Structure 1
Amino acid sequence: MNSKQFFFGLLLFISYAGFAQTNSREVLFTINDKPYYTDEFARIYKKNLDLVKDDTQKDLDQYLELFVGYKLKVNKAYKLGLQNNAKYQNELKSYRTQLAKNYFNDTKITQELVEEGYNRLQKEIRASHILIMADENATAEDTLKAYKKIEDIRKKALAGEDFGELAKQFSEDPSAKENKGDLGYFSAFRMVYPFENAAFNTPKGEISKIIRTRFGYHILKINDVRANRGEITVAHIMILAPKPDDVDKDSKSIINDIYKKIQQGEKFEDLAKQFSEDKSSSSKGGVLNKFASGQLSSEEFESMAFALKNPGDLSQPFQSQFGWHIIKLIEKHPIKTLEEMKAEIESKVGKDDRSKKITASLNEKLRKKYTHKRDNKQFAALTKLVTNDFYESKWVQPANAKEYTAPLLTINAKKIDGRTFLEYLDRQQKSGLKTKPVSKLTEELYTKFENEQLTAYYDENLENDFPDFANVMEEYRDGLLLFDLMEKEIWERAKTDTLGLKAFYDEHKMEHMWKKRAEVTIVSSTKEDVIKKAQALLKKGTDVQAIKDKLNVNNTINVMANSGTFEEGSDALPKTMKYDVGVSNVFKEGEYYFVTNVKKVLPVAPKTLEESKGKMVNDYQQYLEQRWVDDLKKEFAVKINNDAFSHVKTQLK
């Protein structure tokens, strides 16, 4: 975590706390006649009350002093023009975008979609399908043609004709010729949402209604429904099926020999590294990434893997379309609880077609929330400017496009001109839209344009519509400026002003004292006879490593040793240790026996600047900051409204 992330971590955490604001709103103080109000002071005081460790900061008079100092620094930042820094503006914009996402989400619908997805994840469905392709942007004529074709096929299926044979004959999914439309088992979030809906809403053994996806029209037959088997991690050894020129290769014989080696006690992992022809996993002892039903292209492999019961179980050698395998079960991963999966499912909801429900809900709310009106006369004039060249991405805006400044759309008091719509149309040419005639196409695009404009207006007015959002943004805006200002004025100066730091140290060094210290070696053991041997060796001048080498034998640690200069009260020192130079007598504390060798005793003394530098730099920063705030009070005119402060003190107490 970098320093800026740490600086804002607490600020952003408390900004979501959502404390109620005080009802009254008076001017608490002014800085150069700019007012700051009691409600902001009360709100921020409440948010920080339980988080501050220094009781003086809970004192309202002291807190007002801190709050005024904070606002003085922000005013200084604006005076220096730090708000115009491109890096600052980009960071603020990025943060606002992240924060705003919470306000574009329909909590109720999102929760419903999360629960729906989780409930569906409890099952696996095996379905076959027939696809008749129809591009999303296909003409009405082509779309109708595709629909009639799938409709005729569905009638045949409902009349009892074999679904697999119909898929093989008519489906435009290229794999249908081989698999007769059989998709194997799948669960939620594996197929596009409309397809998934049809799969989970059609009873086992029945044919679905006709559904439309971005690929075209489908019908499904539900072959089976079972409980979700979760995910599984396995390792495997694979011998590829022989190629035509592999005349001497007998894959089955090789895999059987490997299986015998495993039965004789040879390690599966070693054999996988040596013999497995799946090069993506052999170097890892054959271990594959965990998978669920339908994620591999081999049903035989999945079935054999999930049939294994306990970690370490092995399959018999078996054949898939790729060759011969032996599988070893590593771990089974059952479906997690809703609480455990909630964040993951929310992410999936936001990434697939389900999110269209959330967008549609927002669009509907915004249409009710804001007054919006289209100028139909202006729209008709603009529609006439769009030609059939649009379908080939060759349409060019009219030369006088900039003259279409009359309002086309009005949202509350905001007016969006015709030129903006023309620019939007220009950008949409590459979308491959085929709706005809052009008038219908522009009407379709206008609806999307209006939705985008309503959403943009909503985004622009989040601060007006949501006081909590405005407060968080204001705090972040000021905090970001303050970080840049403090870095510039205080933190870097405290680190680099060596003369100033030295002078500050000389003035305050008696506040940073060492207690009595000892330069000592401490040897400990749970065995009295061993510690006595260590004592004898210390008296002979034997060094610590030699003592450990001599007494720690047969992989048994009989003694531990620690050497260094330690301050009185240090946890490293035995509590009853005497500060006498030389080797001590053996003494016991708790379960341990100790002997010490004190080489030198250092008296109470001030720490050097280097020894106290971290704390000294921090104190120097606070000193510089206080002096700086005093200077800011002279630079800016601060006026406190004592009556308002008395009122807010009464409310907060």
Structure 2
Amino acid sequence: MIFRKLLILVLLLISLLVSCTPEHSKIIVADYGNYEITMGEFEEAYAKNSGGVEAAKDDSLNSLKKFLDLFVNYKMKLRDAVVRGYTVDQDMQKELIEYKKNIGGTLFLEDRLFEPGMKEIYERRKTEIHAAHILLLPDTLMTDDQCVVLGNQLIERINKGESFEDIAKEYSKDTYTKDRGGVVGWVTSGLIVSVPIEDAIYNTETGKIFPELVKSQFGYHILKALNKVPRKPQVKAQHILAAFRDTTGNIDSLKALEKIKLVQKKLSEGEDFGKLASEYSDDIASGKQNGNLGYFTRGRMVPEFENTAFNLKVNEISPIIETSFGYHLIKVNEIQPLPTYEAEKEELKQMFQRVRHKDAFKLLIDKLKKEFQYSVNNDNYNKLLANADSIKVDANYKGSFINKEFGALNIFNVNKNNYVIDSLFGFLQFKGAFLNREFDKAVLDDAIEQFASEKLIEEKAMVYDNEDSEFAKLMSEYEKGIYLFKILEEEIWSKVVVDSVMIENYYNKNKERFRWKDRVEFKELYLTNDSLANNYYSMAVSGYDFDSLSVKYTQRRGYENTSGYSGLVEIDANELSIKANALENIGDITPPFPFQDGWSIVQLVSRDVARFKTLDEAKAEIASLLQESESKRLEESYLNKLRSIYQPNLYYDKLEAAFKN
């Protein structure tokens, strides 16, 4: 009973504390007019601009105060944008819609099409499969249906215990693999050119066949996963070869075997693999490199060699293996680890686009068709199809028979939006593949599908911010950005006026601020090696025209066929100007000197001693200063106007608690 009373008392105290102390994120750090800025809003904005929450925790109170000043100004400007009617301005809202369609569509496809597909390939590529298949092809003696019947019969026979290898040799139409019992070799995701084959083989247990006949663009397949292992992208190996064929061209396999056994014995006694390779290997090219073959992937070597190399551990030496070349000993030096997803992302994207994109895109579009109630107007479609021979996509579409007779007719609907035949042909005119093309049912269907796909993706983009918080934030930032840009344009940039009188007056009052330091003007001839540089230097000092030499021979990228002219630069601008300034007379030439991974020769063109800039020389700099000064004045004037309207209050003391929760 006492415990129960104590518990009730504690809960009451906690309730009182909670009711007296607002949640951290709801602390008010500033207000302006009828609007408030909470701690949560402030912290989110500050962290975004300072490199994240952890970085923000280390910042000073003074930094937080300065940011709050700026943030309040920012919020007042956004409120002013609403008052000015920007949020209902038709032109600005049209710009937002176009941005949303374009960026939203791109992000949607990236998130829902590319990323899932690329990640699936990446995960699958962690495994490589030793695969075999039996290919059945319909031909003059066998129809498609008969292929399917035969395929299912063969699957049943294999499942009952008959040899896959024997059946492959008897029935497979793949002339490359049938004599090997259907063995294809090692495969991995992204490199298998048929989606149904890849999906099936990755869903087949090791040592088993896929339970169903698989149809691909090549024919019908019975698939078997002979083995599955963790993928090794590449191995780096050395080898020693005792070739069957000697230097005279005679074959002597016994002599080769004796030689490789001798090498194997020396290795067992501790002798160095590389040294023995350089001394004994009949592979001349790798022998000179201590037997080093560098990195190689599967498929680069003959199967016997490859299988052995990819089964060795680092620093492990193989037993003697035989290939068509002779006997080998192999040592693996390195096994390349699997790359990270980020490191392989571009390659994965290319694989996805090459193999899986078409099928995955169709599935995604089919989902969007259901989501947005896509429907084709069959009556109008049939009218268009009946006149397919009159269809021509070119610059003369307007006024054509199709345009006049059918242009205003509905072709399909997306989310109750009506798309007419004219809009279809407007789309096709920007698609080079359809220009001046003869139309039949297949071409017309493809054209409609492409146009509908674009419209479905646009429709999805318009609601994608409701599903994706990052896109919602991006849209919010872009919207605020165009409002702020418009305010700056109206309140500042359009009002900044700098004329020649203002520039001249400023120059006359501040002439001493605009000075040139000592400057030099020179030409450079740049070469990548010293022998060329010395040769052209000798020609230059012998009287050859420096401009001609530079135009013809300079190797500085971007300066080809130019005289290497620098213009006037300060004497200490770089090593070239320093060298030029050290020359005594106009026209003098430096000997070659090392500069930027090459050799430079410099000729002095002129000098300009320190002096005041003329009005013309200072004009651009003064105009920039005046524009900046006037912009700051106008912005401060605008902010003062906002402050008088909204009377902002900034509670700096509350910032003591920022990022402390």
Normalised to the residue count of structure 2, the TM-score between the two structures is: 0.51
Q: CA 1:627–1:104 in structure 2 vs 1: closer, same or farther (change >3 Å)?
A: same
Instruction: Answer whether contact 2:241 2:260 (CA < 8 A) is retained.
Output: no
Distance 1:430 1:108, change over 3 A: closer
Structure 1 residue 180 corresponds to structure 2 residue 181: yes
How is 1:594-605 mapped onto 2 (pairs within 5 angstroms)? none
Q: Deviations over 1:496-536 (max 9, x none)?
A: x9999995699xxxxxxxxxxxxxxxxxxxxxxxxxxxxxx
Letter matched to residue 295 of structure 2: N
Verify the 8 A CA contact 2:232 2:338 in the aligned structure 1. Answer: yes
Partner of 1:217: 220
The alignment partner of 1:159 has SS state of helix
Partners of 1:630 and 1:71 lie apart in 2 by: 21
Q: Relative to structure 1, is the Cα distance of residues 429 and 159 closer, same or farther in structure 2, using a 3 angstrom cutoff?
A: farther
Tell me how far 1:215 sits from its aligned partner: 2.7
What residue in structure 2 maps to residue 304 of structure 1? 308
For 2:230, which of 216, 228, 232 is the aligned residue?
228
1:128 and 2:132 are equivalent in the alignment: yes
- 1:499 and 1:268 map into 2 onto residues whose CA distance is 80
Change in 2 beyond 3 A, CA 1:378/1:276: farther
Is the CA contact (8 Å cut-off) linking 2:196 and 2:214 kept in structure 1?
Answer: yes
CA RMSD after TM alignment? 6.3
Match of 2:532 in 1: none
User: Are 2:288 and 1:286 aligned?
Assistant: no
Q: How does 1:193-212 map to 2 (within 5 A)?
A: 193-203=195-205, 204-206=207-209, 208-212=211-215
Q: Residue type of the partner of 1:467?
A: A
Compared with structure 1, are the counterparts of its residues 147 and 240 closer, same or farther at alpha carbon in structure 2 (3 Å cutoff)?
A: farther
The residue aligned with 2:414 is: 411
Show CA shifts across 1:516-563 (max 9, x none): xxxxxxxxxxxxxxxxxxxxxxxxxxxxxxxxxxxxxxxxxxxxxxxx
Q: Distance in 2 between matches of 1:281 and 1:69?
A: 74
**Does structure 2 conserve the Cα–Cα contact (< 8 Å) formed by 1:269 and 1:286?**
no
Aligned counterpart, 1:163: 164
The secondary structure found in structure 2 opposite 1:184 is strand
What is the aligned counterpart of 1:60 among 30, 52, 68?
A: 68
Matches within 5 A, 1:194-593: 194-203=196-205, 204-206=207-209, 208-222=211-225, 224-228=226-230, 230-231=232-233, 233-237=235-239, 247-248=249-250, 253=255, 257=259, 263=267, 265=271, 268=274, 271=277, 277=283, 286-291=292-297, 294-311=298-315, 313-333=316-336, 347=349, 350-351=352-353, 353-355=355-357, 359-360=361-362, 362-370=364-372, 372-386=374-388, 399-403=400-404, 404-406=406-408, 407-412=410-415, 415-421=418-424, 439=441, 442-443=444-445, 446-459=448-461, 467-473=472-478
Deviation at 1:330, TM superposition (A): 0.6
| SS of alignment partner, residue 143 of structure 2 | helix
Q: Distance in 2 between matches of 1:448 and 1:240?
A: 60
Q: For the residues of structure 1 that align with 2:246 and 2:284, how far apart are their CA atoms?
A: 19
Query: Matched residues in 2 for 1:246 and 1:480: separation?
Result: 82
- Structure 2 unaligned segments of length 5 or more: list them: 1-24, 81-94, 498-505, 516-621, 656-661
Task: Measure the CA separation in 2 of the matches of 1:501 and 1:254.
Answer: 92
**TM-score of the superposed pair, with normalisation by structure 1:** 0.52
| Equivalent position SS for 1:416 | strand
1:151 aligned to which of 145, 149, 152: 149
Give the CA deviation at 1:129: 0.8
In structure 2, distance between residues paired with 1:370 and 1:104: 16
The one-letter code of the counterpart of 1:158 is E
Cα-to-partner distance string for 1:125-171 (whole Å, 9 max, x where unaligned) = 4332122458xxxxxx9999345325314414523564334434443
Cα 1:268–1:151, aligned 2, differ >3 Å: closer, same or farther? farther
CA distance in 2, matches of 1:476, 1:320: 68
Mapped to 2, the partners of 1:101 and 1:281 lie a distance apart of 53
- Cα 1:272/1:66, change in 2 over 3 Å: farther
Deviations 1:385-422 (A, max 9, x none): 235999xx9xx999534444324234357553324545
- Deviation (angstroms), 1:259: 7.8
Greater shift after overlay, 167-176 or 441-450? Answer: 441-450
Amino acid at match of 1:208: P
SS across alignment from 2:335 = strand
How far the C-alpha of 1:320 sits from its partner, in A, is: 1.9
Describe the shift of the 1:286–1:623 C-alpha distance in structure 2 as closer, same or farther (beyond 3 A).
same
For the pair 1:103 / 2:108, whether they are aligned, the reply is: yes
Q: Residue type of the partner of 2:149?
A: E
Change (3 A) 1:375 1:143: farther
**Which has the larger displacement, 636-645 or 377-386?**
636-645
Return the alpha-carbon distance in structure 2 between the equivalents of residues 185 and 360 of structure 1: 29
Code of the residue aligned with 2:274 in structure 1: it is F
Per the alignment, residue 619 of structure 2 pairs with none
